[in-house]
Structure 1
Amino acid sequence: MKKYILITILAAAGLWSCNDDSLDASITVDSNFQSGDANGWIAGFAGYAATADSVQLDTVFATTLLPRGLDTTQYGYRILSRYSKGNMFSYIKKRVTGFTPNSPYEMVLQVDLATNYIADGPNSAVEKVTFKAGVSQLEPVTRLVSGIHTFNLDKGTGKQIGKDVLLSGSIASTRPDRLYYSSLRYTNDGQPVTVTANNKGEIWFYAGTDSDFKDTTIFYFDRIIARFKEL
């Protein structure tokens, strides 16, 4: 089944829809990386030392055709990372505009993360890597702090969840054949959470993997959807 085009708007025309009784504005942002388009998502990496060399560190990101196990005629955002010396956060981020400045919204976030990792021991990638996603008024960025490339939002470390994380969980695939499997994850079990746009009418998204696995991991973001309703 083909994925939807970049952005699906829940209105007859334009971004917003209203009824005669009250403001009932809603918007759906739908990124599916169709035809290799990054849809405004930008990759970043954090947690590694400024002195890390190519023996210790490897990072690759690109939109590419999905692997076996998924629809190989469709595209996803592929993230490869390896840091042999410590924890590594590999993420993608996106800015969405057009919100009412400083206004609250109900939001449900859905992320389809494709993995081929299964739980096969205490030192496996499944035990060492945690999926995390969230939204922020601030742009998620990596900054150099005391010699470490550091993520600026509170994501927590490893399985610990920080205050800026709205969605988290296991990277485990349910396929025993180790082909890739896309798992749908929703904030708050599909129930809305409240987020507030910044004073420019922006909300920043991020989604990534927090890894203490010392070997290479490869993930595909298959689709990311956020549904908003103005309060």
Structure 2
Amino acid sequence: MKKYILIAVLAAAGLWSCNEDSLDANITVDSNFQSTGEGKDGWVAEFAGYAATADSTQLDTGSTTALLPRGLDTTQYGFRVLSRYSKGNIFSYLKKRVTGFKPNKPYEMELQVDLATRYSASAVVDKVTFKAGVSPVEPLTKLVSGTYTFNLDKGTVQQPGKAVLLAGSIASTNPDSRYHTLVTYSNNGQPVTVTTNSNGELWFFAGTDSDYKDTTIFYFDRIIARFKEL
């Protein structure tokens, strides 16, 4: 399957600009993790939900840009995120700040996240959920009462919170465990309205909310947001 899968709702020619990370009245933010340098396109990985006392026998996290695994286009890069927390829930997420919007201004937005997964429904059903959102407030992991906590309302593993715009299962429909499915999420063709902060900024986050006690490894392949000034 080709890397750059664009669903029809995001191919509304003439309605959106196509400049990567360009900012004007019609804005497209397109991250495919192929750029030079670290190749992360401004995205940073963080983790939340685990106890401050967790040790290496209970907790394992890691993130990096890496070539996509066998079954996908192995000449292309994705953002690889690994997590394991045997004692409870862990939220593994990427975040990115985008500037240059008009301050305190509403924008109509469509959001797409391409996530590579290899986990069957039997392995992860009701245990891992994909979540993504856009907020005027920076997504952060903060220490609260002994637990590293996500500061936005992401909800429970099974239910999305108020800060979540996209949510869905990460289960693969393929019969084997190779990463040969590219899962594409969108807001079903219905744009949502987001309002920038007083600095003309928006923060993106995309991740997996997991009660699965073993190690999971996902690849974020592409993240696209398209904005239209209202």
TM-score by length of 2: 0.89
Aligned counterpart, 1:130: 129
- The 1:131/1:203 distance shift into structure 2, 3 A limit, reads same
Contact 2:126 2:158 in 1 (8 A): no
Structure 2 counterparts to residues 81-120 of structure 1, below 5 A:
81-120=83-122
Aligned counterpart, 1:32: 32
Shift of 1:125: 2.1
Structure 2 counterparts to residues 5-84 of structure 1, below 5 A:
9-10=17-18, 15-16=23-24, 25-34=25-34, 37-84=39-86
Shift of 1:68: 1.2
- Name the CA distance, whole Å, in 1 between partners of 2:102 and 2:110: 18
| Superimposed CA distance per residue, residues 75-94 of structure 1 (whole angstroms, 9 cap, x where no aligned partner) | 00000000000000000000
Aligned counterpart, 1:21: none
Letter paired with 2:18 = L
- Name the CA distance, whole Å, in 1 between partners of 2:59 and 2:154: 21
Aligned counterpart, 2:13: none
Tell which structure's C-alpha radius of gyration is larger: 1
Consecutive unaligned residues in structure 1, runs of 5 or more: 17-24
Shift of 1:2: 6.6
- The 1:2/1:45 distance shift into structure 2, 3 A limit, reads closer
Shift of 1:67: 0.6
Contact 1:32 1:222 in 2 (8 A): yes
Moved over 3 A (4+): 1-4, 8-11
- The 1:147/1:74 distance shift into structure 2, 3 A limit, reads same
Shift of 1:15: 3.3
Consecutive unaligned residues in structure 2, runs of 5 or more: 6-15
Identity of aligned residues (%): 71
Aligned counterpart, 1:22: none
Letter paired with 2:32 = N
- Root-mean-square deviation over aligned CA pairs: 1.7
- Bigger mean CA offset, 139-148 vs 33-42: 33-42
- Name the CA distance, whole Å, in 1 between partners of 2:126 and 2:165: 20
Shift of 1:10: 3.2
TM-score by length of 1: 0.89
